[in-house]
Amino acid sequence: MNRIYLTVAYDGTAYHGSALQTGQPETIEAYLNRAVKGATGTESEVIGASRTDAGVHARGAVFVFDADSPIPPDRFVHVLNKLLPRDIRVVESHEVPRDFHPRQVSARKTYAYRILNASYEDPTRINYTWYVPRDLDLAAMQWAGGYLVGEHDFTSFCNVDSTAQSHIRTIYGLGVSRREDEIVITVTGSGFLYNMVRIIAGTLAQIGWGWRPPEAMGEILAACDRSAAGCTAPPQGLMLMGYRFDNEA
């Protein structure tokens, strides 16, 4: 048995999230499992480094699976892509130690959230941005984002249905930049709670359009209360950019 590491990109528009769900065939893991079976002839469930919600996209999602196959590890990228739909693509594959588990090693994960800040919606970006026509104050959003960097209790930015035992997380960097008519929020952290990045994006947007002052972000964080933060931004603006593992696989 070899453990194979996959870096996967996908457009999440048509899928009910990345994680396997009972009775739900339209997930990223379900399609990867079927492709692995088609390539190797045996059942093997992929293990994801994390999960994304329905409608969320990825450029650098990580999965591993075990296979007893003559296919060289670096060739799975080609074999699996022949068996996957065009909106799911393996971009790299290689072998890792059998004890490597992507959810049990320290890693830095990066997400980007895109806001279309223009007078009119762009139909070519409906599935990839959150359309916010109201003018956004970039400097205010950048100032507010600085309060979130470091190790904190992020209960205020966690969906109330989360089952996480601890809400302590570390954000290593949070940037807010304007790229023509888009505002892009980029967050790198040790891990993220359920809806955490989308709630951060929604709160920053409300600060950007003047509903709250930038310094309110510190008060929101300290409150440890979901009702203190802003709205949960819609899923289509979010993209998982990638991982950096402390012991690179």
Task: Establish whether 53 is a catalytic residue.
Answer: yes
What does the DSSP 8-state code read for residue 157?
G
- What share of residues in the chain are helix, strand, coil (percent, to 5)? 25, 30, 40
Q: 3-class DSSP state for residue 221?
A: helix
Q: Which of 53, 66, 137, 181 is catalytic?
A: 53
Listed in sequence order, the residues at least 6 apart from 223 whose beta carbon sits closer than 8 Å to its beta carbon are 156
Query: If you search the block for the tokens 């296919």, which residue do you land on?
Result: 71
Closest to 93 (Cα-Cα) out of 108, 105, 78: 78
User: What CA–CA distance (Å, rounded) separates 4 from 91?
Assistant: 13
Helix or strand or coil: residue 248? coil
Active site residues: 53
